[in-house]
Amino acid sequence: MTNKTDNPTEKTQAPKKSIAREYTEAILIALLLALLIRTFIVQAFKIPSGSMKKTLLIGDHILVSKFSYGTHIPNEIPFINVKLFDDIVLFSKVPQRGDIIVFKFPKDETRDFIKRVIGLPGDLLEVKRQKVYINNKPYQDTHARHTDSPSDSPLVPRDDFGPILVPDDHVFVMGDNRENSQDSRYWGYLNVKKIRGKAQIIYWSWDRIKSWVRFERFGKILK
């Protein structure tokens, strides 16, 4: 009588993946991670205009925190800005006065704008001869940049505006470059659900006039 023994060399091996399949899986995982980071953690933006000069210059590239004011439920098809349903924000927070924010432009949500938060919900806000007043007190607006003298025309809201009461769940935003900014003085309040995130840092900057890198702006914390 003989005993049957297992041959230690006989082991079941999983079939090897092809190189093409391994590369495909790695690319898909990388794309998924990039999408998750872009949606929930941080997103890069480029500054196309001078409305925030001199805080931000044309050609600055910035990183924006996506969770500073709550968690946005994805409602757009990535990269083509096709909206599927209304904005939903979990654990929503109102920005602080002075925050620099990126948001969906209320008149065209396929475009992103960047401005500074000036008025908060419940604020009584007024602009008199370019000077901002909040709750009947002058606002220490250290970031404001003026390139023109105050206009005497009643048709120009940029220099004389209000008084207005900022409603709940909305903020009043303005560009630092006051005479060259399309902001809440022209199109109204911003719903906090439209905020994409808080601008944090400049990671790259290109001077298109000089065709050269602005190395001195790398790593600048935005405030």
Mean pLDDT of 40-58: 92
Q: Say whether 149 is catalytic.
A: no
Catalytic residue among 51, 181, 184, 205: 51
Band the pLDDT of 18: cuts 50, 70, 90: confident
- Give the residue among 171, 220, 162 at the shortest CA–CA distance from 194: 171
**Domain boundaries, given as residue ranges, for the chain:** 42-217
| Maximum Cα interatomic distance, the chain, rounded to a whole number of Å | 114
Q: What integer is the mean pLDDT of 144-166?
A: 85
Residue 6 has pLDDT above 70, yes or no: no
Catalytic annotation, pick one of 53, 66, 115, 194: 115
Instruction: Answer yes or no: 51 catalytic.
Output: yes
The pLDDT value recorded for residue 16 is 67
User: What pLDDT does 11 receive?
Assistant: 54
User: DSSP 3-state helix, strand, coil percentages of the chain (rounded to 5)?
Assistant: 15, 35, 50
Residue 8 has pLDDT above 70, yes or no: no
Residue of 210, 211, 196 whose CA lies nearest to 89: 196
| pLDDT given at position 14 | 55
- pLDDT value for 74: 73
State the Cα–Cα distance between residues 159 and 180, nearest whole angstrom. Answer: 12
CATH architecture of 42-217: Ribbon (2.10)
**Average pLDDT over all residues of the chain:** 87
